[in-house]
Amino acid sequence: MRVARKGLIARKEQRAAYLFLSPWLIGLALFWVVPILASVLLSLSEWNIITPPHWQGVQNYREMLFDDRTFWVSIRVTLKYMLLSVPLYLVCGLLLSLLLNLKIRGINLFRTILFLPSVLSGVAVAVLWVALLNPDVGAINEVLKTLGISDPPRWLDSPTWAVPSVVLVGLWGIGGGAIIYLAGLQNISAQLYEAALLDGAGPWQRFRYVTLPMITPTLLFVLLTGLIDAFQVFDIAYVLSRGGQGGLGDSLQFYLINLWNEAFVNGRYGYASALAWVMVLVAAAVILLIFRTSGRWVYYEYDPERER
Amino acid sequence: MKMIEAPERIESPPEVAPRNAVLRYRVRRISYKIFVYLLLLGLCSLILLPVAWMLTAALKPDLEPVFTPTPEWFPTKFWHWENFRRVLTESMPFLRYMINTMIIVVGNILGVLLSCSLVGFAFARLRFRGSKVLFYILIVTMLIPWQALMVPQFLFFVKLGWYGTYLPLIVPSFGGTAFFIFLIRQYMRTIPKDLDDAARVDGLNTWQIFWRIILPLSTPVLTVCAVFTFLASWNNLLGPLIYLDSDEKFTVAIGLANLVTRADTPWNLTMAANLVTILPTVIVYFFVQKKLIGGIASVGLKG
């Protein structure tokens, strides 16, 4: 009798749980499962929405790999951005958060100001920097000239400097990344520092043997999101290349810019779906690779409070 | 959120140290502080000077050059505040863009708060078959960027006849956002389970426990989710760019991007428009920044 009653309560709870979950389950089916299936089929066909879809097997993938110059350009631009931005943001974000973690008077004001750019939209930031980076009259080059650099970079007007310009604009908003590091730093137990201090560790040793190992999970997180984000650069590149045209000599032809152009400018929905799948597969491969190697350098503290 | 930091770097001076050792220690300590403050001030000016330049440019009259050989960082002799009125209503319709964006923002906040709190509650406090599998699916959808699915989603909404309306930009939020569900779940798990048991003894059902007990206790995390949603949808460019087709429906992000991409907009008005659109996010940021930073910190990344 009691068992039956318990089962009834559990069944009731289960039914309630699925009711609570229903918005997400419906959303999952409509906005994830259906599009994923549709995307697989689309990537194997040619479709411009007007004429009926035309099945063509792996033709889209073949074209991408062997006949599409722009695809390879977009890969090169994205990789260049990735190699420049990921290490730079990783190190600068960490240094900034160490600075903002100091206990000194007025630190909250400094934090507020330095985090500010991270709430601004990519478009607003890009519009501002288009003006600042103007090679002939912009403020950046005027400052560089006063500093004695007679021939400053031509930034967006130069195929070499276009990607570094995007990296520079992102660096201006590095405070957003520092928030995540700061959270990681504040989770480090003060006892560890006290113990290190008692052992006679200097500032560098405290950083090297306490802070750095304890913050590796945050480093892993920032590394992964940085790599994934490189595939999703859009807003800034869209504005800086005057409406997603890819910039001078395709120097701002980022992966997502190319995908957007193929889908929504050229109307090649099948081909764009194939591009999206390549993006997902490459990103997944990168994530797996990093996770595989992360065991060697990421330090997880055993924390009984988290075991539940 | 308790503040924990690296302890002060210098150990206290030895009691019987010679006078000049104490002096050296003090000088080192003071110069270290000066160095840190100079560094922080320098970094802050890197953030604030471009914003100040933007304000200077926005306040200039039409015929005055915005670009000057020595950049003017602070409002100089020109105070043409009417430039802001011009971008809002007269030469540009930024007031309408802002109202349009607000419609999307409010819709998204409603959708996120409603669906994510329900789903987060189920994941945090209810037992049901398949909870582990569903939670893994949630985590996976958090990792897949929505841009990867934007083409089939676009075609889906076109087939529904929603192209050119705000519906594709609002309705999906009612299906929940994985990241916010995760945040809310993490928060609700920290509320003592005894509360539920006591409430059940008092005869409350699951819905009443959610609505009367857990939800009111979760306002901090709900605030964080609402603010993140506000920022994300106010700043969103790609979504509106794909789905909206007429100037009457455009959002601030499209309006701004068009100023640069369609060229020959005077720079003073462009900068005024830019300031007008970032103002709401800055105001919200100043009001909730403590909660926002604490919100990210409290969730932690190991969970």
Residue the block writes with tokens 């520079």: A168
Asked whether B154 and A263 are in contact (CB, 8 A), the reply is yes
**Pick from B238, B261, B281: CB nearest A234:** B238
Alpha carbon of A153: minimum distance to chain B alpha carbons (Å) = 17
| Mean pLDDT in order along chain A per 10 residues (308 residues) | 66 90 95 91 85 84 90 94 94 92 88 89 91 86 85 87 93 85 86 90 89 90 88 90 81 93 92 93 88 83 47
**Mind listing the pLDDT tens digit for each residue in B19-48?**
788 888 889 889 989 999 999 999 999 999
* Tokens (6 digits) for A43: 């990537």
- Average pLDDT over every residue of B2-31: 67
Q: Kindly tell me if the per-residue pLDDT of B1 is higher than 80.
A: no
**Mind listing the pLDDT tens digit for each residue in B40-57?**
999 999 999 999 888 888
DSSP-assigned letter for residue A169: H
Asked whether A241 and A247 are in contact (CB, 8 A), the reply is yes
Predicted local distance difference test score (pLDDT) of residue A91: 93
CB within 8 Å: A272 and B151: yes
**Mind listing the pLDDT tens digit for each residue in B208-257?**
999 999 999 999 889 989 999 999 999 999 999 999 999 899 999 999 99
With beta carbons under 8 A apart, name residues in chain A contacting B50. 128-129, 132, 139, 172
CB within 8 Å: A127 and B278: no
In the beta sheet, which residues pair with residue A55? A45
Chain A neighbours among B 73-92 (CB < 8 Å)?
none
Compare B49 and B61 and report the one with higher pLDDT: B49
Alpha carbon of A242: minimum distance to chain B alpha carbons (Å) = 4
Alpha carbon of B57: minimum distance to chain A alpha carbons (Å) = 10
Q: Kindly tell me if the per-residue pLDDT of B5 is higher than 50.
A: no
B124 touches chain A (CB under 8 A): no
B302 touches chain A (CB under 8 A): yes
Confidence of residue B16 (pLDDT cuts 50, 70, 90): low
The residue of chain A nearest to residue B129, with distances taken between CA atoms, is A14
A148 touches chain B (CB under 8 A): no
**Pick from B9, B48, B54: CB nearest A128:** B54
With beta carbons under 8 A apart, name residues in chain A contacting B43. 96, 99, 110, 114
Q: Which of A20, A109, A134, A185 to mutate to test the interface with B (most CBs of B within 10 A)?
A: A20
Predicted local distance difference test score (pLDDT) of residue B220: 87
- Average pLDDT over every residue of B60-70: 73
B296 touches chain A (CB under 8 A): yes
Q: Kindly tell me if the per-residue pLDDT of B183 is higher than 60.
A: yes
With beta carbons under 8 A apart, name residues in chain A contacting B284. 119
Compare B2 and A29 and report the one with higher pLDDT: A29
CB within 8 Å: B151 and A189: no
A95 touches chain B (CB under 8 A): no
Confidence of residue B3 (pLDDT cuts 50, 70, 90): very low
Predicted local distance difference test score (pLDDT) of residue B301: 40
* Tokens (6 digits) for A122: 């990519």
Interface predicted TM-score of the whole assembly (ipTM), two decimals: 0.86
With beta carbons under 8 A apart, name residues in chain A contacting B252. 121
Confidence of residue B17 (pLDDT cuts 50, 70, 90): low
Q: Kindly tell me if the per-residue pLDDT of B188 is higher than 70.
A: yes
CB within 8 Å: A127 and B260: yes
Confidence of residue B69 (pLDDT cuts 50, 70, 90): low
Chain A neighbours among B 224-253 (CB < 8 Å)?
231, 234-235, 237-238, 241-242, 252-253
**Pick from A99, A146, A276: CB nearest B148:** A276
The residue of chain B nearest to residue A121, with distances taken between CA atoms, is B235
CB within 8 Å: B289 and A115: yes
Q: Kindly tell me if the per-residue pLDDT of B4 is higher than 80.
A: no
B201 touches chain A (CB under 8 A): no
**How much is the mean pLDDT over chain B?**
86
**Mind listing the pLDDT tens digit for each residue in B266-300?**
888 899 999 999 999 999 988 887 777 666 555 54
**Pick from A116, A119, A122: CB nearest B47:** A116
Q: How far is residue A269 from each of residues B144, B232, B283, measured CA to CA in Å?
A: 19, 26, 40
Predicted local distance difference test score (pLDDT) of residue A9: 78
Alpha carbon of A160: minimum distance to chain B alpha carbons (Å) = 21
Q: What is the DSSP string of chain B?
A: -----PPPSSPPPPTT--HHHHHHHHHHHHHHHHHHHHHHHHHHHHHHHHHHHHHHHHTS-TTS-S--SSPP-S--S---THHHHIIIIISS-HHHHHHHHHHHHHHHHHHHHHHHHHHHHHHHH---TTHHHHHHHHHHHHHS-GGGGHHHHHHHHHHTT-TTSSHHHHGGGGG--HHHHHHHHHHHTTS-THHHHHHHHTT--HHHIIIIIIHHHTHHHHHHHHHHHHHHHHH--HHHHHH--SGGG--HHHHHHHHHHT----HHHHHHHHHHHHHHHHHHHHHHHHHHHHHHHHH-S--
**Pick from A117, A142, A300: CB nearest B71:** A142
Compare B12 and B294 and report the one with higher pLDDT: B294
Chain A neighbours among B 23-62 (CB < 8 Å)?
33, 36-37, 39-40, 43-44, 46-48, 50-51, 53-54, 57
**Mind listing the pLDDT tens digit for each residue in B223-236?**
989 999 999 999 99
B127 touches chain A (CB under 8 A): yes
Separation of first and last alpha carbons in chain A: 31
Asked whether A247 and A29 are in contact (CB, 8 A), the reply is no
CB within 8 Å: B151 and A276: yes
DSSP SS3 for A159: coil
With beta carbons under 8 A apart, name residues in chain B contacting A124. 235, 256, 274, 277-278
Alpha carbon of A247: minimum distance to chain B alpha carbons (Å) = 12
This prediction's pTM: 0.87
Q: Which of B39, B40, B162 to mutate to test the interface with A (most CBs of A within 10 A)?
A: B40
Confidence of residue B196 (pLDDT cuts 50, 70, 90): confident
Q: What angle do CA B228, B231, B234 make, to 5 degrees?
A: 140
Predicted local distance difference test score (pLDDT) of residue B294: 62
With beta carbons under 8 A apart, name residues in chain A contacting B34. none
- Average pLDDT over every residue of B108-114: 97
| Cα B113 off chain centre by | 15
Amino acid at A11: R
With beta carbons under 8 A apart, name residues in chain B contacting A10. 127
